[in-house]
């Protein structure tokens, strides 16, 4: 007997969980960016421990548009952190990388 797959979360539901998680963290500010102001800008803009992070949220199996990929690349070229995620754990991994980078800067390599 096969077990039905749990439905994947809606993009809006995932976005709400990500925003709540981020805004519950110390030294973190996060906001949903309204796409009507400028197309292609990632869904969530974050300042985490002094680092700029832009997060494009997609449901599993979905891909960013050409414009979204271009904006993500522009942010990365400007030394910001930008990525596409489809799960809260991916956001946690981005933050962990920042924490590790900051620890190396503080304590040396």
Is residue 13's pLDDT more than 70?
yes
Which structural domain range is residue 43 located in?
11-107
Residue 93 lies in a domain: yes
80: domain CATH number is 3.40.1350.10
In the chain, how many domains are there? Answer: 1
pTM of the model: 0.86
Q: Which two tokens stand for residue 80?
A: 């910001």
Q: Model confidence at 38, in pLDDT bands (50, 70, 90)?
A: confident
Residue 54 lies in a domain: yes
Rg (CA), the chain: 15
Q: Model confidence at 9, in pLDDT bands (50, 70, 90)?
A: low
Overall average pLDDT of the 49-68 stretch: 96
Residue 2 lies in a domain: no
pLDDT in tens, 74-98: 999 999 999 999 999 999 999 999 9
Residue 6 lies in a domain: no
Cβ-proximal residues to 5 (8 Å cutoff; 6+ apart), any chain? none
The tally of CA atoms less than 13 A away on the side-chain side of residue 12 is 1
Residue 1 lies in a domain: no
Q: Which two tokens stand for residue 68?
A: 């979204």
Could you tell me if 78 and 47 are in contact, meaning their C-beta atoms sit under 8 angstroms apart?
Answer: no
């Amino acid at each position: 007997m096969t077990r039905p797959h749990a439905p994947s979360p809606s993009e809006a539901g995932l976005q709400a969980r990500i925003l709540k998680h981020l805004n519950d963290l110390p030294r973190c500010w996060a906001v949903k960016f309204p796409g009507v102001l400028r197309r292609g800008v990632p869904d969530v803009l974050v300042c985490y421990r002094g680092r700029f992070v832009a997060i494009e949220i997609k449901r599993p199996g979905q891909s960013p548009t050409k414009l979204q990929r271009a904006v993500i690349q522009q942010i990365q070229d400007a030394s910001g952190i930008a990525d596409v995620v489809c799960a809260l754990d991916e956001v946690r991994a981005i933050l962990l990388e920042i924490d590790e980078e900051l620890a190396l800067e503080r304590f040396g390599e």
